[in-house]
Chains A and B, each alone.
Chain A
Amino acid sequence: NAGVMQNPRHLVRRRGQEARLRCSPMKGHSHVYWYRQLPEEGLKFMVYLQKENIIDESGMPKERFSAEFPKEGPSILRIQQVVRGDSAAYFCASSGTRTDEQYFGPGTRLTVT
């Protein structure tokens, strides 16, 4: 039973490029969450999605960031026109229901040069 999968594990982008981070939830899970972890800090919630729906995006920056969880395929976190401040580890988590514990993927470490 595969856990939460994220790819790529490491991503390097130059300022102004786009970054696409992918997350495949655990089998049977339909709730996906994205978190960002800056160096020496805890995780900050970004967005919560269910299949084809954004449930809560209160943690998402207003510009350049978007997320989707299509009916088929992984969830995608998209960052347009990246800046150095976007450098961080981005973690995806999934759960079977809204109140269950969340299971985390290994993260994507984004470096913006």
Chain B
Amino acid sequence: AQSVAQPEDQVNVAEGNPLTVKCTYSVSGNPYLFWYVQYPNRGLQFLLKYITGDNLVKGSYGFEAEFNKSQTSFHLKKPSALVSDSALYFCAVRDPSGGSQGNLIFGKGTKLSVKP
């Protein structure tokens, strides 16, 4: 069965420090991987995706993510955190060979808190 795990409910980082939000996945085929961010009482905003190609993917607002097939991970990173990055982050996967027909499987989300 397809699944996504975000092992940390919350990540706390000081402004200016690097941040990492972890994500691991389980699919039967080659995954399509996504990161979304959700601000309070808002919808999800697309940050970045991995379909194929370079394992390091760059996205919006200075975020990047590294696809690691052997560890089945797709951790989200940013070299220098901003207070405005504080939000809820969701990792999602789609298995194009798994018959999901396009829907995304989401992790439970990780709350990122960046303190000044």
Contact = CB atoms under 8 A, between A and B. Distances in A.
Nearest to A105: B43
B9 to A, nearest CB: 9
A91 B43 contact: yes
Nearest to A41: B108
Contacts, number: 61
A109 B104 CA distance: 21
Interface size classification for chain B: 20 to 34
B34 A99 contact: no
B63 interface: no
Interface residues of A, number: 27
B45 A104 contact: yes
Contact of A33 (B36, B43, B90, B103): B103
Interface string A88-113: 00010101001101111111010000
A43 B44 contact: yes
